[in-house]
Structure 1
Amino acid sequence: MGNELNRDVHPEYPVSWQAAALNGLLRGTMKPMTSLLLRNTTGMALASRVMGLGERVPGILPNHVTIEQEKFGACSGEWVRAGDGLDEGKVLLYFHGGAYFVCSAATHRPITWRLSLTADRPVLSLDYRQGPVHTLAESLSDALAAYECLLERGYAPEDILLAGDSAGGHLTLASLLALRDRGMPLPAAGVCLSPWSDLSNSRSRVNHWSDPMLPAGRVDWLARRWTDGLDPCDPLVSPVYGDYTGIPPLMIVTGSTEVLREEGQRVALSARENGVPVTYEEWRRMPHVFAILADVLPEARMVFKHISRFFDAVESRRAGAVLSDAEAAA
């Protein structure tokens, strides 16, 4: 079962016509728009307002999906349930992406309802505090508080999964490192979709031109903004520099043409060197966080089947460990 968890996967599905068309659309619209807006606070505010308008447009969810709002201290979130017969004794805590200043739990429902179905459990999607008003430390504080709240409500740590995309992938990795360092009980596993894990000045940029969605220069500009006054090589700021000893199994999913691809690779290699089983998947010509496009991309729907296999492998590993402990005790 270790091989099922610790492996590199390069899916060889033919790139769909939907993906090819979408890459062209993103390259001609979102990438230049992002390049234009992310240059100052005014542009960030405008981008945030545009995304906020999108949240007010009700998304089309399957009839079997329910949304329930929740409040957690300084932040809020929503419970997402998909399908019947979910195991209410288990939970997946999700951190949405959005470069730490846009998006919300609502914008990421195409991911969270599918994760609920995939993991056969409710998903708590957190609306953590974001910049420019709030800091990375406050975002992390909200993530840790939500996890601790789940423990206080009686969820066993081995029945909790963490997941996130992009900035939420950063928050997933930083949360795992912070929980480990604080001596807290750790969740069963973590899933990171296109994680943004290196906010330091030393990162190298692959796929500078081939990424259809993210302009590397603007990603770097945001990194400098969020790390102003901080040590950018602190593992809680740039998790790529973390020591992952003792961290539970990880799954990292990237696209082959992403500017963040190398960061995901480096986390996978570092974690493996520290003894952590890592499933690293690199999907050919897929855009940043392509899982959110599952309503239109066949590849995005398929990736949830891969995530399901990872969850099954995590559960089998846990069951094997319990059996070994029982045999040793006997």
Structure 2
Amino acid sequence: MTIGTGTPPIRPVARTAAERRIARELALEPGGPPSLRARLTGRAVRALVKTAWSSVPDSADGLIRFQRLSGLVSRAQTVPPGVAIAREDLGTCSAEWVRAGAPDERKVFLYLHGGAYFFGSARLYRPSNWRLSASTGRPVLALDYRLAPHYGPSDALDDALTAYGFLLESGYAPGDIVVGGDSAGGHLALALLLELRRRGTGLPAAAVCLSPWVDLRCASDSHRLNARSEAVIPAGKLAWLGRVFTAGKGAAHPLLAPRHGDLAGLPPLLLVASGSEILRDEVRDLAERAQTAGVGAVYQEWDGLMHVFTVFADFVPEGKAAFRHIAEFLRRTGA
């Protein structure tokens, strides 16, 4: 705001057709119909990702087979000029620093990728992590946590704790850190918050969860109601994984607590979901329970988009806009 006038800030005028298109994309808000490019991308992702995942057996060999397919895709991921990538060895796991432009090194974003706890990597997520760094103006530490079938979500939580501890030891105060993730990584971010609180460790300034897999037991109605409209996840495959991961665990277990546990005292949360994905209802429920518990939770529901549409921001205009919303959320919360 211009001081003393009460007028809105002067914004640069987009001069070229490309600049005008980007400005329109960044201005998109939840609640409107999905763009044509989002619909077309959703069809392509359904044909490739959902079909490939559906084709592998419910077994360790099936998980490894799909891992290999995603590994081939990750090799093709590139970043624009001016984006720096650097590896970080954390002992039991590793991570990748992503810096777009000249970020504020006094702050950091710890990002936990999705992939149902059995596939995905920092490298696969480079196209979204560089956008996250650019939009929030801070470096992103993207964690490569250990994956099933050789490891489980509890090992991933240990790795997330290791990464958070590494940031504290590197000189970042808890208030300098934002934690986020998508799908299984969104679940892991929430589990990390609850475990940090249990240990009495300082909590990060905020958390961003994109289509988080909040309920590993897959008990929400949308797992059934949106099974056909879901473009990425075969509902039956995720339910099988959930049964494997939760076998023998009670509702108080930290990996189940995001859906059932006490959320009081958590930092501000941005929770994003698509109205047509199978995880929609549990994300809605989490937002309502967080608000009831006094948490500054913001819930955004985008109509007709695919699960974790931010990952496809190169093709989905709403994905680009979502990064603007993330940056605005962090500015509003002072994170």
TM-score by length of 2: 0.87
36-45 vs 275-284, which moves further:
36-45
- Out of 98, 114, 117, the position equivalent to 1:97 is 114
Determine the C-alpha separation between the residues in 2 that align with 1:202 and 1:183. 31
Q: Is the alpha carbon distance of 1:270 and 1:235 closer, same or farther for their aligned partners in structure 2, counting shifts above 3 Å?
A: farther
1:14 Cα deviation from its structure 2 partner:
4.0
Determine the C-alpha separation between the residues in 1 that align with 2:232 and 2:255. 26
- Out of 93, 97, 101, the position equivalent to 1:79 is 97
Match of 1:115 in 2: 132
1:38 Cα deviation from its structure 2 partner:
4.6
SS of 2:187's equivalent in the other structure is helix
Contact kept? 1:177, 1:236, Cα under 8 Å: no
Match of 2:243 in 1: 224
- Out of 145, 164, 181, the position equivalent to 1:128 is 145
Contact kept? 2:41, 2:315, Cα under 8 Å: no
Determine the C-alpha separation between the residues in 2 that align with 1:146 and 1:171. 12
Determine the C-alpha separation between the residues in 2 that align with 1:235 and 1:137. 9
SS of 2:88's equivalent in the other structure is strand
1:282 Cα deviation from its structure 2 partner:
0.5
Q: Is the alpha carbon distance of 1:10 and 1:238 closer, same or farther for their aligned partners in structure 2, counting shifts above 3 Å?
A: farther
Determine the C-alpha separation between the residues in 1 that align with 2:266 and 2:172. 19
1:308 partnered with 2:327:
yes
Contact kept? 1:79, 1:124, Cα under 8 Å: yes
Match of 2:215 in 1: 198
Counterparts in 2 of 1:220-299, with a 5 A limit?
A: 220-231=239-250, 234-299=253-318
Deviations 1:170-203 (A, max 9, x none): 1000000100111110100000010001012643
Q: Please report the RMSD computed on the Cα atoms of aligned residues, expressed in angstroms.
A: 1.7
Gaps of 5+ in 2: 1-27
SS of 1:81's equivalent in the other structure is strand
Q: Is the alpha carbon distance of 1:54 and 1:30 closer, same or farther for their aligned partners in structure 2, counting shifts above 3 Å?
A: closer
Determine the C-alpha separation between the residues in 2 that align with 1:108 and 1:228. 29
User: What is the identity, as a one-letter code, of the residue corresponding to 2:310?
Assistant: A
1:214 partnered with 2:227:
no
The aligned length equals 306
Determine the C-alpha separation between the residues in 2 that align with 1:202 and 1:53. 32
Contact kept? 1:211, 1:257, Cα under 8 Å: yes
Q: Percent identity?
A: 45
Gaps of 5+ in 1: 1-8, 319-330
Q: Is the alpha carbon distance of 1:286 and 1:262 closer, same or farther for their aligned partners in structure 2, counting shifts above 3 Å?
A: same
1:233 Cα deviation from its structure 2 partner:
5.6
1:55 Cα deviation from its structure 2 partner:
2.1
Determine the C-alpha separation between the residues in 2 that align with 1:47 and 1:107. 14
Determine the C-alpha separation between the residues in 1 that align with 2:54 and 2:135. 35
Q: Is the alpha carbon distance of 1:32 and 1:232 closer, same or farther for their aligned partners in structure 2, counting shifts above 3 Å?
A: farther
TM-score by length of 1: 0.89
Contact kept? 1:199, 1:232, Cα under 8 Å: no
Q: Is the alpha carbon distance of 1:232 and 1:201 closer, same or farther for their aligned partners in structure 2, counting shifts above 3 Å?
A: farther
Contact kept? 2:268, 2:333, Cα under 8 Å: yes
Match of 1:54 in 2: 73
Determine the C-alpha separation between the residues in 2 that align with 1:171 and 1:165. 9
Determine the C-alpha separation between the residues in 2 that align with 1:77 and 1:201. 29
Contact kept? 1:10, 1:282, Cα under 8 Å: no
Extract structure 1 runs of 4+ deviating beyond 4 A.
none
Determine the C-alpha separation between the residues in 1 that align with 2:57 and 2:99. 35
1:63 partnered with 2:60:
no
